[in-house]
C-alpha cells in the first residue's frame, strides 16, 4: 500500500516529467529510472536556460551519497539547453524498492533554484556480492606474507548459494599467481576466506594488482574487486665456492645466485690466489680484470643478466703439470749432476805424444767423489803397441801383461773414502812417429759400491801441454 501511494503521488507530481521555474527548466527521460544495486548506472537529465540572458547554474542532488554528475557547473545562453549525465551507484547493502531523489539547479545570476523529483527503482541483479576485500599490508619486502581477506555476502533469505572466488595476482598485466576457492554461503549471512602469499624473490620489485572475482556455478561473474600492493626493491646475491683436487690440478667452482628481487642484475665475482699461481691459472671464462696486490693476484669476473632465482657458475683450474714438470726437470738435473759428478771416476792426463822417442809420464787420477766409501778398486790401462812402457814407476807398481793389442797395466786399491783421491802414474816411450801424434785409449776401472759391483770407463783423456 505504501509503494502504491508513493508511485501515485510521484506520477501526479511529474505528469509532464517537467519542473518549470522562472529561470530554468529541468527534465528527466522517464518518471521512474531502473537502477541496479552494486552497479554503476547512468541516466541523462536536461537543463534549459529559460531566461533571455546568459546564466550559469550549479547542480546538486539529495540524498547525494549515490549520485554524481559529469558536470557540476554549466553556463547556458538564452534559451539554450544541455544534457547532463547522472551516475547512480547504490551500495551492495541497499534495499530493493523505490527511492526518491531530488535534483536541483541553482542560478548564479539570480540565486534562484529549480528542482525535479525522480523515483529510482532499486533492483538487485544478484543476491551474492563481495562485501569486503582487504590486505594485511600494502607495502611488503622479501620474506613477508601477504594475506588477502575476502568476505562474501548472501542476501537471499531462503537459499544457500555455492560460489567460486578467484584471486589473481598480476604484475604488468601478467598473471603471477592464482587461487580458486569454492564455498557455500548460508542464507542471509557472510563468509570470509583468506589466501596467504609468501613474498619470495621470484616476485620482482614493483607494483602488483590483485583481482578478486566472484562467480556462480554457471560461471557468471557476480562481482569483482581490485586491490593493490607494492614489493620493495632488494639487490642481494649468494656465493658458493667449492674446490676439488685432481691428480695434477685443483678445480674451483664458484656459483653465484640472485637471491634478491631485482631482474637483469650484475654481480662482480673476485677470486684471490697466490701470485706464483699466475702461470698455472686456467679459467673456462676469461676474467674481466686481474690485479696484483702484494703477493696475491685478484681475478674479477662480471656476471650479468641474472634474474631473481637464477644462478651462474664460474670454473677455473690451477694446473700443477707445469709445476710438476719444473720440479721433475730440476730433480732430474740434480740427479744427473749427482750421478755424473758425485761418483768415483778416473781421469787420464798426459802430454801430447808426437811420436818423438822421448819418455813421457801418464797420470791416472782415481778419485772417489761419492758420499760413500768404495772398495776393491781395480784400474786397468792399456798402452798401444806404438809405445813402450818404462818399467820405472813413481807411485804404485802395476801388474804388467803383454797382449796382442799392447801392454795392459793393472792396479789394485783396497778402498777410497768419500772425497779421497789416488794418483797412479807410469812412463812410456813412443817407438815410431805417427802423423798427428799417438792417441792413448781411456782407462777402465771397477769398484764395489754400497750395493753392487760397478765397472766404468774413464770419463776422458786430457792431454797436458807442457
| Domain ranges, ordered by start, for the chain | 2-123, 128-231, 237-322, 342-463
The CA distance from 69 to 60, in Å, is 9
- Taking residues 383-392, what's their average pLDDT? 87
Phi, psi at residue 48, to the nearest 5°?
Answer: -125, 135
Range list of β-strands (E), 217-264: 221-231, 237-245, 249-258
Predicted confidence at residue 197, as pLDDT, reads 92
Predicted confidence at residue 17, as pLDDT, reads 40
Predicted confidence at residue 464, as pLDDT, reads 59
Domain 2-123, classified CATH 2.60.40.10, yes or no: yes
- Taking residues 6-31, what's their average pLDDT? 57
The CA distance from 131 to 95, in Å, is 14
- 3.40.50.2020, 3.90.1150.10, 2.60.40.290, 1.10.10.10: CATH of 342-463: 2.60.40.290
- Across 48-57, 120-129, 220-229, least confident range: 120-129
The three state secondary structure string of 164-191 is: EEEEEEEECCEEEEEEEEEEEECCCEEE
pLDDT band at 39 (very low <50, low <70, confident <90, very high): confident
Q: Which residue has the higher pLDDT, 456 or 154?
A: 154
Predicted confidence at residue 348, as pLDDT, reads 85
Whole-prediction pTM:
0.54
The pLDDT tens digits of the residues spanning 190-212 come to: 999 999 999 998 889 999 999 99
- Taking residues 329-337, what's their average pLDDT? 80
The CA distance from 340 to 370, in Å, is 10
Predicted confidence at residue 49, as pLDDT, reads 94
- Taking residues 267-272, what's their average pLDDT? 92
- Strand, coil or helix: what is 344? coil
- Taking residues 260-267, what's their average pLDDT? 91
- Taking residues 4-21, what's their average pLDDT? 40
Q: Are the CB atoms for 454 and 446 separated by under 8 Å? A: yes
- Across 169-183, 231-245, 327-341, least confident range: 327-341
What cell does 334 get? 740434480
For the domain made up of 128-231, the CATH class stated in words is mainly beta
* 240 pLDDT higher than 60: yes
Q: Are the CB atoms for 184 and 170 separated by under 8 Å? A: no
Quick check: do 128-231 and 342-463 share a fold?
Answer: yes
* 147 pLDDT higher than 70: yes
pLDDT band at 276 (very low <50, low <70, confident <90, very high): confident
DSSP β-bridge partners for residue 459: none
N residues, the chain: 466
* 388 pLDDT higher than 50: yes
Does residue 63 have a cis bond before it (omega within 30 degrees)? yes
The CA distance from 270 to 258, in Å, is 16
- What fold characterizes domain 237-322? Immunoglobulin-like (2.60.40)
Amino acid at each position: 500500500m505504501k509503494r502504491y501511494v508513493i508511485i501515485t503521488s510521484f506520477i501526479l507530481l511529474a505528469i509532464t516529467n517537467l519542473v518549470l521555474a522562472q529561470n530554468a527548466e529541468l527534465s528527466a527521460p522517464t518518471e521512474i529510472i531502473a537502477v541496479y544495486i552494486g552497479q554503476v548506472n547512468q541516466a541523462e537529465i536536461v537543463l534549459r536556460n529559460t531566461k533571455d540572458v546568459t546564466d550559469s547554474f550549479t547542480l546538486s542532488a539529495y540524498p547525494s551519497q549515490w549520485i554524481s554528475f559529469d558536470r557540476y557547473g554549466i553556463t547556458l545562453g538564452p534559451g539554450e539547453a544541455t544534457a547532463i549525465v547522472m551516475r547512480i551507484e547504490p551500495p551492495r547493502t541497499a534495499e530493493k524498492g523505490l527511492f526518491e531523489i531530488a535534483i536541483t539547479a541553482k542560478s548564479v545570476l539570480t540565486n534562484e533554484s529549480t528542482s525535479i523529483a525522480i523515483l529510482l527503482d532499486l533492483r538487485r541483479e544478484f543476491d551474492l556480492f563481495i562485501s569486503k576485500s582487504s590486505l594485511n599490508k600494502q607495502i611488503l619486502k622479501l620474506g613477508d606474507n601477504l594475506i588477502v581477506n575476502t568476505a562474501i555476502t548472501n542476501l537471499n533469505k531462503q537459499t544457500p548459494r555455492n560460489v567460486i572466488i578467484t584471486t589473481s595476482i598480476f604484475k604488468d598485466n601478467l598473471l603471477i599467481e592464482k587461487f580458486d576457492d569454492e564455498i557455500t554461503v548460508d542464507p542471509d549471512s557472510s563468509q570470509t576466506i583468506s589466501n596467504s602469499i609468501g613474498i619470495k624473490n621470484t616476485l620482482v620489485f614493483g607494483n602488483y594488482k590483485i583481482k578478486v572475482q566472484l562467480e556462480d556455478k554457471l560461471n557468471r561473474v557476480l562481482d569483482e574487486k581490485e586491490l593493490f600492493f607494492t614489493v620493495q626493491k632488494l639487490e642481494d646475491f649468494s656465493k658458493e665456492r667449492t674446490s676439488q683436487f685432481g691428480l695434477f690440478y685443483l678445480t674451483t667452482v664458484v656459483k653465484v645466485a640472485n637471491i634478491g628481487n631485482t631482474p637483469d642484475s650484475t654481480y662482480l665475482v673476485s677470486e684471490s690466489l697466490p701470485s706464483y699461481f699466475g702461470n698455472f691459472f686456467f679459467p673456462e671464462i676469461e676474467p674481466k680484470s686481474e690485479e696484483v696486490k702484494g703477493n696475491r693476484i685478484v681475478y674479477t669476473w662480471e656476471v650479468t643478466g641474472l634474474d631473481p632465482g637464477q644462478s651462474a657458475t664460474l670454473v677455473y683450474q690451477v694446473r700443477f703439470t707445469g709445476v710438476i714438470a719444473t720440479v721433475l726437470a730440476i730433480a732430474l738435473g740434480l740427479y744427473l749432476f749427482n750421478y755424473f759428478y758425485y761418483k768415483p771416476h778416473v781421469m787420464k792426463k798426459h802430454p801430447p805424444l808426437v811420436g818423438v822417442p822421448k819418455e813421457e809420464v801418464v797420470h791416472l787420477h782415481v778419485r772417489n767423489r761419492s758420499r760413500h766409501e768404495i772398495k776393491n778398486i781395480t784400474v786397468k790401462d792399456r798402452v798401444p803397441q806404438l809405445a813402450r812402457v818404462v818399467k820405472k814407476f813413481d807411485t804404485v807398481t802395476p801388474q804388467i801383461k803383454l797382449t796382442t793389442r799392447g801392454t795392459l797395466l793393472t792396479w789394485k786399491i783396497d778402498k777410497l773414502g768419500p772425497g779421497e783421491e789416488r794418483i797412479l802414474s807410469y812412463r812410456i816411450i813412443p817407438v815410431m812417429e805417427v802423423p798427428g801424434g799417438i792417441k792413448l785409449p781411456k782407462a777402465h776401472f771397477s769398484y764395489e759400491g754400497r750395493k753392487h759391483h760397478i765397472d766404468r770407463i774413464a770419463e776422458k783423456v786430457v792431454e797436458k801441454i807442457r
